[in-house]
Amino acid sequence: MAGKILSYKLSSGYEIPMIGLGTYARKADTGQFRQAVEWGIEAGYRHIDTASCYKNEEEVGEAISNKIYQGIVSRQDLFVTTKLWNDSHAEQDVIPALKSSLNRLKLDYVDLYLIHWPVSVNSMGEDMKIDFVETWRGMEAAVKEGLVKSIGVSNFNEEQLTRLLQNAIIKPVVNQFEINPTLTQHKLVDFCKKRSIMPVAYTPLGLISEARPEFIGKDAIKTDPKLGEIAKKYKKTRAQIALRYLIQRGVAVLPKSFTKSRIEENLNIFDFELSEQEMAIVDSYNIDHRCVPGTAFCRHNNYPF
Ligand SMILES: NC(=O)c1ccc[n+]([C@@H]2O[C@H](COP(=O)([O-])OP(=O)(O)OC[C@H]3O[C@@H](n4cnc5c(N)ncnc54)[C@H](OP(=O)(O)O)[C@@H]3O)[C@@H](O)[C@H]2O)c1
């Protein structure tokens, strides 16, 4: 791996590596998550992003235990994030949900625990209309119990963050939301930074991903020859340019891959720097397109988009 991985000091005082390995997949073979995380740790990733709803915490935990057992990393070297699902938003449900995640991950704490969405559902998927400020009390209790170092949110909009900040005793350190060259999110990124909330980009490859062929034609990021020239100049791929663009904006990135060579490729973004002009070219690919619109919750209270 070329270039040292940058990290950022969160408002809680803990450091978050600017790149983490994403682990969400709609479909996976048995062992594929474990294998990807093992390759990731071997390649140098020290930040892993999972969630209880990804149904992969056991495999992610196995990979972590294996790499610790083999002496490749120690627990303190790793920054592990998991997320509270929408069906456990009642204050008294937060710690039990986190304990179940820890049990599956075979860890006694996580570095970061996020409220996955501001919406709440019951086991039937119906809207529970639980106020996320109530959920936050449970998150704060989890910090006090030593089960998590830092707490934050995901998919929160400006208004929701404002309300949370007004009511929080422990401030959220992160908002994880979709950011990529076709969804640049300047307004929300600036809003977060001004309030010491670290913006973390999910789906950072956006329309570069082959997983999204339905958007062919809208994806200048994939086809524009100017980006090809930039990539050639630095001997990088389009994906690496997209990730580097986010890092240079002060946004942490969570690319997911099951492919060993891509897991390695995505990490190799710390040995070059895009010029202001090149940053502007990547920025021009914005079409405000969401890969993850969360449509299942679009009629729910607190749907953020
Ligand atoms: N908080 C939330 O609500 C939320 C929502 C979505 C995602 N996330 C998190 O963010 C992570 C990343 O998001 P994502 O998985 O949706 O999207 P992504 O990381 O932007 O894209 C993943 C896709 O890109 C492909 N890919 C990876 N590296 C590549 C490269 N160098 N060149 C070309 N294609 C490449 C992968 O294929 P292969 O695997 O086949 O290599 C996969 O199909 C998730 O895994 C999850 O941890 C969070």
Examine the pLDDT at 201 and tell me if it is beyond 90. yes
Could you tell me the CATH number of the domain that includes residue 113? Answer: 3.20.20.100
In the reported structure, the alpha carbon of residue 22 is separated from the centroid of ligand 1 by a whole-number distance in angstroms of: 6
**Atom from ligand 1 closest to the CA of residue 24:** 45
Please report the pLDDT score of residue 2 as a whole number.
63
Averaged pLDDT, 294-305: 95
Q: Assess whether pLDDT exceeds 80 at residue 153.
A: yes
Pick the residue whose CA is nearest to atom 9 on ligand 1: 202
Three-state secondary structure call for residue 238: helix
C-alpha distances (whole Å) from 165 to each of 72, 137, 182, 295 are 39, 12, 29, 26
Tell whether 303 is covered by a domain: no
111-147 confidence digits (pLDDT tens): 999 999 999 999 898 999 999 999 999 999 999 999 9
Q: Is 74 part of a structural domain of the chain?
A: yes
- The pLDDT of residue 57 is 98
Within the chain, where are the H helices?
32-43, 57-69, 91-105, 132-144, 158-167, 186-194, 220-223, 225-234, 238-248, 260-267, 276-283
Closest of 32, 181, 184, 198 to residue 112, by C-alpha: 198
Q: Which of 133, 27, 56, 92 is nearest to 80 (CA)?
A: 56
Kindly report, residue by residue over 89-108, the tens digit of the pLDDT.
Answer: 999 999 999 999 999 999 99
Q: Which atom from ligand 1 is nearest to the alpha carbon of 176?
A: 1
> Given the structure tokens 């034609």, which residue do they identify?
217
Percentage of the residues of the chain whose pLDDT score is greater than 90: 92
Structural domains in the chain (count) = 1
Would 1 be classed as within a structural domain? Answer: no
Q: Residue 2: inside a domain, yes or no?
A: no
Residue 54 lies in a domain: yes
- As a whole-number percent, the residues of the chain with pLDDT over 70 amount to 99
Q: Are 283 and 249 in contact (CB under 8 A)?
A: no
Q: Which domain holds residue 163?
A: 7-297
Domain-located, residue 11: yes
Asked whether residue 216 carries a pLDDT value surpassing 80, the answer given is: no
Q: With 80 as the cut, is the pLDDT of residue 1 above it?
A: no
Q: What is the mean pLDDT of residues 261-266?
A: 98
Q: Is residue 260 part of a domain?
A: yes
Residue 282 pLDDT > 90: yes
Examine residue 267 and state whether it is found in any structural domain, yes or no. Answer: yes
Mean per-residue pLDDT, 181-193: 97
86 in ligand 1 pocket by Cβ < 6 Å? no
Q: What is the DSSP letter of 3?
A: S
